[in-house]
A and B are shown apart, each in its own frame.
Chain A
Amino acid sequence: MSSLHLAVLSPLLLAILIPFLHKYFKNIHTGWFLLPLPAVLFAYFLQFIGTTSHGGIVMETVAWISSLGIDFTLKVDGLGLLFALLITGIGALVVLYSIYYLNPDKEKLNTFYVYLLLFMGAMLGVVLSDNLIVLYTFWELTSFSSFLLIGYWNHRERSRYGAQKSMLITVFGGLSMLGGILMLYIITGTFSITETIQMSNEVVNHPLFTATLILFLLGAFTKSAQFPFHIWLPDAMEAPTPVSAYLHSATMVKAGIYLVARMTPVFAHSGTWVWLVAGVGVITLFWGSFSAVKQTDLKAILAFSTVSQLGMIMSLLGAGAAALHYGTIEDGYYIVAVTAAVFHLINHATFKGSLFMVTGIIDHETGTRDIRKLGGLMNFMPITFTLAIIGTFSMAGIPPFNGFLSKEMFFTGMLRVAEMDIFNMDTWGILFPIIAWTASVFTFLYSMMYVFKTFMGKYQPEKLEKKPHEAPIGMLISPVILASLVIIFGIFPNVLSHNIISPAMGSILPSLLGNGEGFDVHISHWHGPTAELFMTIGVITFGILLYKFMPKWAGIYSKLPSRMSFNRFYDRGLELLELTSKNITKSYMTGFIRTYLVYIFSFFILALASTLFFKNAFKLDLSDVAPIRFFEVVLVLIMAVSAITILFAKSRLTSIILLGAVGYTVALFFVLFRAPDLALTQLVIETVSVALFLLAFYHLPQIRRNEERIRFRATNALISIGVGAIVTMIALSAHSNKTFSSISEYYVENTYKKAGGENMVNVILVDFRGFDTMFEIAVLGIAALGIFAMIKLRLTRGRELDENK
């Protein structure tokens, strides 16, 4: 167990202690116990920068299920480290924020922090695992802990709905991914990601490749809220704001991004991957930003904004993957998309985290998140306002914040997609920059809406529950730190480029690097008057125009019928699924035993008849048949007549007596076929059972007692004839197919010699095969006890009921 393993598992270990800490230190907010852990982990992961920035990799293995190729292998490389730093860094800030956000008297803090720690550990496991099965394990743990956190206020109906929705969608994706992992294992024979990457050529040429790719992408798209699976994210906003800030903006939703980045070296050699990732990313980008504009809830705006930004990163990863087709690092013209993806990943985590915290503060201090009720808060909350300005301007892509830089690079990447001459990009690729630009206009629009509708305009005190005031200092620390990072990364972007971005790119595009090489990333503010700059100017101009004339054109949102929304599709789908399965179940689970017997017997006939038919098994061989004697014919006639008469008997008493007749005829057959023991037993048993039948008949209710004869039903007749025919056919074929002689010779010889008896039947029963007899008498005993219990227990229960009356 290395220190790295300890680091990944430490949140899970601390989670065990949290309930005790919560119970025994009631005066201290439980969050304080938590806070040191992510901070220490952050510092711990920082020390890996020295290794990874030179392309180094730290790998540690602990044996888990080695026989199945599943080992707890952790690997720190550029990409994993970037995510680990995000998780622990933002984790620390979120914990600090939550200490001031959650009221220890009103909330169940112990469960909250246990879930949060579970999530943190799971997320670290996802990004650092090198074994796909371990990665999947942690992946599902993130889904579960996210489910618990979304449903944290489980007394609210919306919370439960949101939690269930996110669970269904992400677990659907997770299971698809598991399918992908298993297929990948079939192709490569290993679960190790590192080894899989080395075998990427075999993977691409394997017939299962496309299926594997799609299954992996389903996992990544559902987790990262890509179109059309984005619908769970807005509903996940029912979670407490620290959770939204942490899970649904900075970390969990980026797990899909991580997966795509991690698997890029394996899959990216195919056009399917590039088109799917980039295409879905761009559609998500557009749809998210377009939908964000119509929201009135601050968190909903941020949720759709997150969807849109994740789509942007995804599309950049897809476009960047195409760079793999251009050979070497010297040809680095197309690599800028990957740089932009990694850079924006960091930027998004900083500004979106701070914006969620700002939303939490507004919610906390005014009592509402509804944009229509808010306004004019600038004077009451100057610091929050400043933070919001920084966050939204960065999100909109306005200089000098970091969002500007990543947006410029995004445009560059998209323009280069249009120039590519692979995978038919030259025909349809032009759509990418156009959609990207339109989406950016909407991004600008909702960013402005967020900040100006909340903080500027008219103050509406009558609509607010409380009188707004500035948040406590503790709540402001985390967003201030994040906002400062926004500015620092905006002004000095190159502090990141060498240490963080370049090694992360090295993990995404390893095949482009020779030994000891690294990507030379340099982010600059000013490129000269390029197309990107004019696009940005266009975004700002159009954005401002649209914002100004919003009331005039906002009507188009109501034009889109609500029936077309994906939420409705999901809700109706679930309902339909439930209804259909209920109807299907109802249609065949009728509750009548008769119906079930019809199923059972029809299946019996079908299965046996088809076996007979397809195996060509029916055979009739009469060479071995004994001569038929007169008595046998008479007895068969008697038996057949009484058996058939049972069916047409009018009274039940007749049926019982006829049944007895059948039984005694069977006993006569035993006599005729020389089975005296059987005959004796059959006689006595038949007598007893007829007596019991008579008893049952005697106790029938008077009204139904003299019912008319059995009603004729065609299905019943058909099925019973079928069963009879099939059994006869099988018996005849079995008789004709005797392949070996009987073992009875042994018994004939040894009954006296070895067992000292002369009645062979009895010797077999008690000696040769006494084991069967032992359990048969046990069966009898159980039957007797059962009858005794049924009758006696019924009596006592009846008596109790009487007493209750």
Chain B
Amino acid sequence: MKTNDIILQTVTKFTLFVIILFSIHLFFAGHYYPGGGFVGGLMTSGAIVLLLLAFDIKTVKSILPIDYIKMVAVGLLFAIGTGAGALFFDMPFLTHAYTYVDLPLLGKTSLHTAVLFDTGVFLVVIGVTMTIIQTIGESE
């Protein structure tokens, strides 16, 4: 018997964006409010898991053709690269810098190299979670 997941799939299509928006909010707010790369990454992968539940692995793979293992590598590169970047400015490894900039739309905003580091964390967490879930899901 073929089940009809129309309600689940439709709800997913709406909810997905809310979750992703929430996760991006968590990620960017990390420096000032609760959140950060770790929880943000987990939330994003939660969104993708919801997709996986509503559809199937093949469909999700065609929607998001991402190699999550490479994503882990890229994330680690981000983290280490941010740290190594400080070396070019004659500073110890992993020294972060920040400035306050007046952007046209957003007003006074701070820019951090720590965000780049957090991006690394974010990508690694998504990559790790998705690798685990996808690998286990595909195994028979």
Partner of A774, one of B38, B83, B110, B125: B83
The reply to whether B72 and A781 contact each other, CB–CB distance below 8 Å, is yes
A758 to B32, CA, bound (A): 4
CB of A681 within 8 A of CB of B79, answer no
Q: Are B127 and A784 in contact (CB under 8 A)?
A: yes
Contact A780 B125 (CB under 8 A): yes
Most buried by B among A680, A784, A785: A784
CA of A787 to CA of B128, assembled, Å = 10
Task: Please determine whether B125 and A759 come into contact, CB atoms closer than 8 angstroms.
Answer: no
1/0 per position for A679-699, CB-CB distance to B under 8 A?
A: 011001100100010010000
Inter-chain CA distance A475–B110, complex, in Å, is 98
Residues of chain B contacted by A784 (CB below 8 angstroms): 68-69, 72, 127-128, 131-132
Is the CB–CB distance between A777 and B125 below 8 Å? Answer: yes
- Residues from chain A with a CB closer than 8 A to the CB of B29 are 759
Whether a CB of chain B sits under 8 angstroms from the CB of A541 is no
Set of chain A residues within 8 Å of B125, measured between Cβ atoms: 777, 780
Looking at B1-9, B39-47, B57-65, the stretch in contact with chain A turns out to be B39-47
- Inside 8 A of B117's CB, which chain A residues have their CB? 766, 770, 773-774
Is A788 a contact partner of B36 (Cβ separation < 8 A)? no
B135 contacts the other chain (CB 8 A): yes
A63 at the interface (CB under 8 A from B): no
In the bound complex, residues from chain A placing their C-beta under 8 Å from that of B43 are 684
Question: B32-86: which have CB < 8 Å to A?
Answer: 32-39, 42-43, 46, 68-69, 72-73, 75-76, 79-80, 83
The closest CB in chain A to the CB of B80 belongs to: A774
A634 close to B (CB within 8 Å): no
User: Which chain B positions have C-beta within 8 A of A781?
Assistant: 72-73, 75-76, 124, 127-128
- The interface residues of chain B lying within 8 Å CB-to-CB of A579 are none
Q: Are B96 and A770 in contact (CB under 8 A)?
A: yes
Q: Is B136 an interface residue (CB 8 A)?
A: yes
Choose one: A756, A762, A795; the contact of B35 (CB below 8 Å). Answer: A762
Chain A: interface size category = 35 or more
Measured CA separation A757–B34 after assembly (Å): 11
Within 8 A of A (CB), among B94-114: 94, 96, 98, 100, 110, 112, 114
Does B10 sit at the interface, judged by CB under 8 A?
A: no
From B32, B39, B69, B124, give the contact of A780 (CB < 8 A).
Answer: B124
Which of A684, A692, A761, A767 contacts B46 (CB under 8 A)? A684
Q: B21-37 CB contact bits vs A (8 Å, 1 = yes)?
A: 00000100111111111
| Bound Cα distance from A44 to B61, whole angstroms | 86
| Chain B residues whose CB sits within 8 angstroms of the CB of A766 once the complex forms | 36-37, 96, 114, 117-118, 121
| Interface check A778, CB cutoff 8 A | yes
How far does the Cβ of B71 sit from chain A's closest Cβ, in whole Å?
10
**Using Cβ atoms and an 8 Å threshold, which residues of chain B touch A791?**
135-136, 138-139
Contacts of B139 in A (CB 8 A): 791, 795
Q: Are B46 and A762 within 8 A (Cβ)?
A: no
Size class of the B contact interface (CB-based, 8 Å): 35 or more
In the bound assembly, the distance between CA atoms of A787 and B36 in angstroms comes to: 26
Residues of chain B with a CB closer than 8 A to A777's CB: 75-76, 79, 120-121, 124-125
Whether A568 sits at the interface, judged by CB under 8 Å, is no
CB-CB under 8 A from B121, the residues of chain A are: 766, 773, 777
Q: Please name all residues of chain A whose beta carbon is closer than 8 Å to the beta carbon of B112 when the two chains form the complex.
A: 756-757
In the bound assembly, the distance between CA atoms of A676 and B35 in angstroms comes to 8
- Nearest-neighbour CB distance to chain B for A664, whole angstroms, equals 16
Q: Would A688 and B129 count as touching, CB distance under 8 A?
A: yes
**Complex: how many Å from CA A767 to CA B46?**
26
* Interface class of chain A by DSSP: helix
- Inter-subunit contact B37/A756 (CB<8 Å): no
Chain B nearest CB from A438 CB (Å) reads: 84
Report whether A792 and B35 are in contact in the complex, using a CB–CB cutoff of 8 Å: no
Within 8 A of B (CB), among A741-775: 755-759, 761-763, 765-767, 770-771, 773-774
Instruction: Please give, as numbers and ranges, the residues of chain A lying within 8 Å of B73 by CB-CB distance.
Output: 781
Q: How far is the CA of A695 from the CA of B26 in the complex (A)?
A: 29
Question: A676: which B residues are within 8 A, CB to CB?
Answer: 34
Q: Is A157 an interface residue (CB 8 A)?
A: no
CB distance from B120 to the nearest CB of A (A): 7
Given A680-B39, A771-B94, A778-B76, is A757 in contact with B136 using a C-beta cutoff of 8 Å? no
Q: Which chain B residues lie closer than 8 Å to A770 at the CB level?
A: 83, 94, 96, 114, 117
Is A767 within 8 A of B34, CB to CB? no
- The verdict on A762 contacting B131 (CB below 8 Å), with A756-B110, A780-B124, A791-B139 known, is no
A771 contacts which chain B residues (CB < 8 A)?
A: 83, 93-94
User: Could you tell me the distance between the alpha carbons of A551 and B33 in the complex, rounded to whole angstroms?
Assistant: 107
Contacts of B136 in A (CB 8 A): 692, 695, 787, 791
User: Which A residues are in CB contact (< 8 Å) with B120?
Assistant: 777
Do A788 and B98 touch across chains, with their CB atoms under 8 A apart?
no
Min distance, Cβ B101 to any Cβ of chain A, angstroms: 12
Residues of B within 8 A of A762 (CB): 30-31, 35-36, 118
How far, in Å, is B7 (CB) from chain A's closest CB? 22
Question: 8 Å CB contacts to B: which residues of A564-604?
Answer: none
Q: When the two chains form the complex, which single residue of A677, A681, A759, A765 contacts B32, counting CB atoms closer than 8 Å?
A: A759
Verify if A783 is at the interface (C-beta below 8 Å from B). Answer: yes
Residues of B within 8 A of A787 (CB): 131-132, 135-136
Q: A residues engaging B (CB < 8 A)? A: 676-677, 680-681, 684-685, 688, 692, 695, 755-759, 761-763, 765-767, 770-771, 773-774, 777-778, 780-781, 783-785, 787-788, 791-792, 795
Q: What would 16 A/B residue contacts be, using CB atoms closer than 8 Å?
A: A676-B34, A681-B38, A758-B31, A758-B32, A766-B96, A766-B117, A766-B118, A766-B121, A770-B96, A774-B79, A783-B132, A784-B72, A785-B69, A787-B131, A787-B135, A788-B131
8 nearest A-B pairs in the assembled complex, by CB-CB distance: A676-B34, A756-B98, A757-B31, A784-B128, A784-B131, A777-B124, A758-B32, A762-B36
